[in-house]
Structure 1
Amino acid sequence: MTFQPKSDFLNVMITRGFLADCTDLEGLDEALLNGIVPTYIGYDATAASLHVGHLLNIMMLRWLQKTGHRPITLMGGGTTKVGDPSFRSDERPLLGPEQINANIAGMGQVFARYLDYSDAGNGALMLNNAEWLDSLNYLEFLRDIGRHFSVNRMLSFESVKSRLDREQSLSFLEFNYMILQAYDFLELNRRYGCQLQMGGSDQWGNIINGIDLTRRVADTTIYGLTSPLLTTSDGKKMGKSAGGAIWLNGDMLSPYEFWQFWRNSTDADVGRFLKLYTELPLDECDRLGALEGSEINEGKIRLANEVTTLLHGAAAAAAAEATAREVFEKGGTGDDLPTLALSADEVGDGISIVQLIVRAGLAKTGKEAKRLIADNGARLDDAPLTDAGLVLHLSDLDSPLKLSAGRKRHALITLATKS
């Protein structure tokens, strides 16, 4: 029998494709109907910005709040000092407190776009697990919390098992991570009445640990819900692109580049992405996703506009679409393209086209840039670029130059104005 949720939140999760698994659908559904359910997702502060891979669970928190419940964004000020070993082949580099705090500040800019942190009854909370982890007494923690964990069971989790099966080292520091994450759920339940943890399906084992620990220590029933780990229709991990990570902070990736990422979605992904990453009605998502041939571009542009509006605002989305139309339909340069501004000193007696391609972010290395030119994938002002030895001089930069890698990635090269 197919489960039919009564709560608005679970109905959204199921119908829009967010649900991978849940510890107790019926129990959670009942709890959602009986009052506000505080719910958390944890984010370790490993970078100065969140990226597109985080956007799925940010949308889950947004829908949670829109259906009347309280989202908690738990920043890993404590756990980042350890590092999550889940499905990694090596140990994460350890960050200092100053870098962790700077990263948390950068990530907070994104959450503020999606969630309401006001004093409303279901106003979101931003918390930091350093609040309770930094002051732990190790011996007391071992005695009161550690005794509830079976090493045999921890070794059986796929995230750990896959690492050990490959005979890759797993430090004791990392092994402690799952205990600390479980303890987070217990503390959030004690302090804020948190009843639900959500995360990607790779976090299932960690979530179960927190539920078991809270049941043993506090005799309280809480829940876990996971989302699928998304890949694109061609099998690539969501959020990866030729140019690197798709950051959500505008100072790390321009709104135009963000817009282009969604505009370049494959045809088969349009309907699914509209359901997951926008708030358009389901029937409209289905209509746009079912378009074929050149008409599917309507769906891709709508997807790019809706997702960019949520993150960067309607004006940024409109500017990105206008730039794209100018670049692709009219052959213009587009004022909103990513821009590399060179000083006269940098140009000097000349600067190579290979170096420019790399510095503009269109290739990661000189070797990759040369291959791009050799494969006829590079263009300069919309003309094929065939000479990898080309050198540009100050006179060539009297007006902006447009560099292109393929049909979809572009950058402007300009001469910086003197201050």
Structure 2
Amino acid sequence: MDILGDLRQRGLIQQITDDEGLNEHLQSKVVTLYCGFDPTADSLHIGHLVPALMLKRFQKAGHRPIALIGGGTGLIGDPSGRSTERSLNELEVVQGYSEKIKDQLANLLDFDKGENAAVARNNYEWLSATTIIEFLRDTGKHFSINYMLAKDSVESRLENGISFTEFSYMILQSLDFLKLYEKENCTLQIGGSDQWGNITAGMELIRRTKSGKEEEAKAYGLTVPLITKADGTKFGKTAGGAVWLDGKKTTPYEFYQFWINTDDRDVIKFIKYFTFIDHSEIAELAVEMETAPEQRIAHRRLAEEMTELVHSKEALAQAQKITEALFSGEIQNLNGEEIEQGFKDVPSITFAREEKGLIDILVEANISPSKRQAREDVQNGAVYINGNRQQDLTYKISSQDRIDDAFTIIRRGKKKYFLIRFN
């Protein structure tokens, strides 16, 4: 199956320019394509995964991807998909973000693969070297105000207002396409559906500046659909905020849990969007979802594929170990790092490394509201230390209860966990 056929079967094509022409172009040569990632934070989040993995899909099909870091456009702000102006960051901040995002993309793409090795570029290179006169004369003259106002990314902002800064973003992104066309023979740009106007504007700039000068000045655009969840909530958001690719911001365990808790109605769709599982296996997983949904085979497959892809096999094994320990209650099998991941968001308190009575800890850590209630909880068997029930009213927490000499997990009832730290 050719690359466009695979993408269609996965539901990954929202819009495409010159379908037949692009198909012939992709089958006739190694095509260089790019996708841009503006450094608006110090990490990508899972909303960036579909376009990033599109680059990977094209690379696996034999083409050459460019990951364009928007070190220049990130200083301006993209109005696409937004109702208000983006806050502008300082140059040093954006440059720091750019390096971190470049490293994350290097984990997803193969930068050492010969003819179609991935390439990382930063548009700050040419945008910072372009004078305002050059920008207006050589690029701005090709864009009419009427043409720009008709684009959705601009039109949707007119009622609330849009600054000239963000209004100019379309031209800057168009210039990116032109520069990569000239420098890298890049003929295809991909992006989210909200980037359609910017992509087609770049194609138009190439056509206007190169027609007549080259035998064939042809460029193409392709967008992926906006990802929505079956329950109507925004994809990639949890109660704790965005799901980041940076393991320090969203731990591999949290990342694994996000995918394994996917709504049944979304799981097959997400397997198509985010994984490289072949279509025959996806069909088998869909059947299993229908016949034995309680086994959650597709959910586990999705969580395993994504955690290994973004983090590593080791991180996946660790996430699975934490999951099993929490399910079984055998907390004592975890090490300190795994405790940090698995109990990142539970209530915690810090004590000195010394013996301390269990009743006192329950009250001081607000696990039980009073000593009387604490004693009742212990006597009734509702208190667990590192997964083990403790009913001794005189019990003292000591070094034998400290995991890696740093943590003790207390559970009250079935699901209320508390993290005790020791300094």
TM-score bracket, shorter-length normalisation: 0.7 to 0.9
| 1:328 aligned partner | 327
For structure 2, the residue ranges without an aligned partner over 5 or more in a row are: 212-216, 353-359, 368-382, 388-396
Q: 1:244 aligns with which of 233, 241, 244?
A: 241
Q: 1:111 aligns with which of 80, 105, 112?
A: 105
Rate the CA distance shift 1:121–1:137 in 2: closer, same or farther, 3 A.
Answer: same
Confirm or deny: 8 A CA contact 2:72 2:123 kept in the other structure.
yes
Residues 19-418 of structure 1: pairs in structure 2 closer than 5 A: 19-118=13-112, 120-165=114-159, 168-219=160-211, 220-290=217-287, 291-292=289-290, 294-330=293-329, 332=331, 335=335, 336-337=338-339, 338=341, 339=343, 343-344=350-351, 400-401=408-409, 413-417=419-423
One-letter amino acid of the structure 2 residue matched with residue 156 of structure 1: A
* SS at structure 1 position matched to 2:116: coil
Q: TM-score, normalised by structure 2?
A: 0.81
Following superposition, the deviation at residue 316 of structure 1 comes to 1.3
- CA offsets, 1:34-70, max 9 Å, x none? 1111000001011110000001111111110000000
Give the Cα–Cα distance (whole angstroms) in 2 for the partners of residues 296 and 416 of structure 1: 39
Give the Cα–Cα distance (whole angstroms) in 1 for the partners of residues 231 and 310 of structure 2: 26
Give the Cα–Cα distance (whole angstroms) in 2 for the partners of residues 411 and 127 of structure 1: 46
Greater shift, 107-116 or 214-223, is seen at 107-116
Rate the CA distance shift 1:353–1:75 in 2: closer, same or farther, 3 A.
Answer: farther
Give the Cα–Cα distance (whole angstroms) in 1 for the partners of residues 98 and 234 of structure 2: 24
Confirm or deny: 8 A CA contact 1:272 1:289 kept in the other structure.
no
Give the Cα–Cα distance (whole angstroms) in 2 for the partners of residues 412 and 105 of structure 1: 37
Give the Cα–Cα distance (whole angstroms) in 1 for the partners of residues 99 and 187 of structure 2: 26
Following superposition, the deviation at residue 91 of structure 1 comes to 1.2
Following superposition, the deviation at residue 402 of structure 1 comes to 5.6
Give the Cα–Cα distance (whole angstroms) in 1 for the partners of residues 146 and 384 of structure 2: 60
Question: Is the radius of gyration larger for structure 1 or structure 2?
Answer: 2
Q: TM-score, normalised by structure 1?
A: 0.81
Give the Cα–Cα distance (whole angstroms) in 1 for the partners of residues 365 and 161 of structure 2: 43
For structure 1, the residue ranges without an aligned partner over 5 or more in a row are: 1-6, 356-378, 384-393
Give the Cα–Cα distance (whole angstroms) in 1 for the partners of residues 97 and 411 of structure 2: 32
Give the Cα–Cα distance (whole angstroms) in 2 for the partners of residues 77 and 117 of structure 1: 20
Give the Cα–Cα distance (whole angstroms) in 1 for the partners of residues 301 and 55 of structure 2: 23
Rate the CA distance shift 1:412–1:211 in 2: closer, same or farther, 3 A.
Answer: farther
Following superposition, the deviation at residue 289 of structure 1 comes to 2.8
